[in-house]
Amino acid sequence: MLKDSKFSSHLLHLSQLQTINHKTLDEYRDRLKTYEDYLWFGKPDQISAIECSRRGWACKSNDLIECVNCHAQIAAQLPSVLKKDLYTECIENIFRSLVDSHHRYCVWKFMIIPESIVQLTDIFSNETVNTLLKEAEIFLSRIHRITIVGQLQTMFQIEATDFDLLSSSHLNDPHLLSAFKILVFYWKFNNSSLMCDKCCREIHIDMNHLTFDPILSHRAWCPILKNDQWKKRIEQIENILYKTSRNKLSNIKANNDQMEQILPDIISTQNLFHELISSKEYYRSCVQ
């Protein structure tokens, strides 16, 4: 009992945690950074790097985590997945340990980082796209050249004219689009590095010429890679851009309808034009 009270005086208490939110989040990210792919490999969702970090655990070495507050440790070597029952039981035991193994006075026995911090947020408004564009402009002001490599080269086909629909202030600069394509996938620029907001991988970059794969640069367990979340993000961006394109097109069409009463011959040619090309291409032909 004496040992407990002496020990507990060194522990972080609940009241302290509630007054240091920003510090608490920074410390959560510091814990998350310790989960290198090769140290915490092949762990299921229940005991993922994120779940362990949310409960105060940092990775110390291969399959070994330690509480940053009470210094309790959990060894997490899993049996083969082929031994299904044993494998499932082992995961459940480790999952329970994430709470039970803390010292009785350790704050992480009672606390958890809110799920909202780790959840991915959908992009559903022009405002979000414009905010990302503004961040991309700031990013681009610090770096000379950007080359995107990997699957995004072919999978995320957007053009400067798409963005002109949202804001006329953005220049037709392919490097701005590349900067945008990086920031869409949770990368934050800070001094001379990029860091993922979700898996906390930090990558120091060449400020003269950045060659970057915005997808595979994440840690293997990053939520953006899970269930192809990054592909959904591309769809969300494209939906916003094309929806705005369609609105613009309907305005153009309304103007055309007014003209139709005056110039029927010209409009019949335009209708044919509408049928031959997609709406997006049509809009581009109008704005160029």
Residues that bind Zn ion (CB under 5 A): 67, 69-70, 102, 106, 108, 196, 198-199, 218, 222
Q: How far is the CB of 241 from Zn ion (least distance, A)?
A: 24
What is the rounded distance in angstroms from the CA atom of residue 123 to the CA atom of residue 126?
A: 9
Would you say 102 or 175 has its CB closer to Zn ion? Answer: 102
- In whole angstroms, how far apart are CA 260 and each of 175, 254, 255, 273? 41, 10, 9, 14
> Least distance to Zn ion from the beta carbon of 93, Å?
17
Q: How far, in Å, CA of 156 to CA of 237, rounded?
A: 9
Residue with Cβ nearer Zn ion (56 or 163) = 56
Smallest distance from Zn ion to CB 162, Å? 26
Q: What is the largest CA-CA distance in the chain?
A: 96
Burial class (CB in 10 A: 0-12, 13-18, 19+), 121: exposed
Of 103 and 253, nearer to Zn ion (C-beta) is: 103
Helix or strand holding residue 83 (H, E): none
Q: Residue 106 or 240: which CB sits closer to Zn ion? A: 106
Instruction: Answer for the pair 184, 131: CB distance below 8 angstroms, yes or no.
Output: no
**Does residue 191 come out as left (phi exceeding 0), alpha (psi in the -120 to 50 range) or beta?**
left
- Per DSSP bridges, beta strands 73-75 and 64-67 are antiparallel
Shortest distance, position 53 Cβ to Zn ion, whole Å? 13
Q: CB 83 → Zn ion: shortest distance, Å?
A: 30
CB 177 within 8 A of CB 133: no
Are 150 and 217 contacting, i.e. CB atoms less than 8 angstroms apart?
no
- Nearer to Zn ion by Cβ, of 54 and 218: the residue is 218
The nearest distance, CB 129 to Zn ion, in angstroms, is: 20
Cα(62)–Cα(39) distance, rounded to whole angstroms? 4
Considering the complex, state which of residue 122 and residue 159 has its C-beta at the smaller distance from Zn ion.
Answer: 122
Q: Which is nearer to Zn ion, 65 or 222 (CB)?
A: 222
Compute the least distance from the CB of residue 74 to Zn ion, in Å.
10
- Compute how many other C-beta atoms are within 10 angstroms of the C-beta atom of residue 245: 21
Instruction: Report the alpha-carbon distance of residue 211 to residue 148 in Å, rounded.
Output: 6
Min CB(108)–Zn ion separation in Å: 4
Q: Which is nearer to Zn ion, 74 or 133 (CB)?
A: 74
